[in-house]
Amino acid sequence: MQLGILKELSDNRVSISPESVKKLSKSYEIVVEKDAGISAFFSNEDYEAVGAKSTSRDELLKNCDIVFSINPPSLDDLGLMKKNAIIVSQFSPFNQPEIAEQIAQLGISALSMDMIPRTTLAQAMDVLSSMASIAGYRAVLKASDYFPRYIPMLSTAAGTIPPAKALILGAGVAGLQAIATAKRLGAVVEVFDTRAAAKEEVMSLGAKFIEVEGATDDKAAGGYAVEQTEDYKKKQAELIAEKASKADIIITTALLRGRPAPLLLPKSTLDNMKPGSVIVDLAAITGGNCEVTENKKVVTYKGISVIGDSNLSEEISQHASILFGKNIENYIKILFTESGELDMENELVSASCLAHQNENIYKKNN
């Protein structure tokens, strides 16, 4: 079976690093698009040294049995693939459900790694968690680039500078890494999350957990935030506004799968924040947690820098690629039956499958 690694067209990462190719080449013939790893500082020679062959994009798509990418190739690219070939990417079908039907009509199979259930069994192949961890780390560093003051407390002969106050909204994987990074830099950190289970983790990192009573149970949400009652939202908004007015740096991470991100920072809250404050909105791709957020842009609102970016992991392209590749290594282990067919009896495979044998599996499952 021939496995192909596509070059990302607008992303610094690559789906499989040479480190993972070295392991996978024991079982598969590996083909990599020329310069696929350049932006992650992996050369063509690095891939060739561990057993991969370099080729053009068209040749890879036409000949490979299974193709990997981080971001979905265009339908034109997918149309070049041979019948019954497999494309593995992140299709975000919740945001574009039509993609499953379009791929089914091409006669190829599609697997979406962002659809792998976020269970204990699937942790080793959870690309969302791997990339979120990097994004949380990078978000704090990004904020420091725009923050016009020191983050740690500093004592000098001229006087003492107090530490910056960081507010983290959402204590999932990204939020926890943001907490740890902000603490390392010396900030005083407060954290808000609707999930009661997050309290212990937040406190173990040395941050203060902000609690709002009456949250909706979220045990079945797979690590995502859930929709809350109007009464809860009112209490939440009041408390966040109060904490935001005193914060220097705010990192927002709250996403609702398949729905617009919850609005946590309306203009009325920003109006009471200090000039020079920085907001990094990791939910920008689905509308953002801040009212003035624009994805892939830095907006200045009354002296506040609002950075909207849901793909900060690509800014740490090498480690992001290594982790993504390790996730793929583990995913491949469960993909096939002994006869080499997709193992649709495996719940992780079937849940992440969008199209197979000209059938729209995503529609069937959802």
- Comparing C-alpha atoms, which of 219, 281, 225 is closest to residue 258? 225
Contacts of 121 (CB under 8 A, 6+ apart): 348
Q: Do 181 and 205 contact (CB within 8 A), yes or no?
A: no
Whole-number Å distance between alpha carbons of 17 and 70? 12
Q: Which of 150, 224, 232, 301 is catalytic?
A: 224
Q: Which of 118, 138, 195, 257 is catalytic?
A: 118
> In degrees rounded to 5, what are phi and psi of residue 268?
-60, -30
- Comparing C-alpha atoms, which of 197, 278, 190, 275 is closest to residue 239? 190
Helices and strands in the chain, H and E counts: 13, 17
Q: Which of 77, 126, 218, 248 is catalytic?
A: 126
Determine whether 309 is an active site residue.
no
Rounded to 10 deg, the angle between the 173-184 and 127-146 helix axes is: 40
Q: Which of 39, 129, 245, 350 is catalytic?
A: 129
Contacts of 97 (CB under 8 A, 6+ apart): 362, 363, 366
Determine whether 150 is an active site residue.
no
Determine whether 177 is an active site residue.
no
Q: Which of 96, 123, 268, 357 is catalytic?
A: 123
> In degrees rounded to 5, what are phi and psi of residue 346?
-80, 125
Q: Do 168 and 192 contact (CB within 8 A), yes or no?
A: yes
Whole-number Å distance between alpha carbons of 234 and 113? 35
Return the active site residues: 118, 123, 126, 129, 224
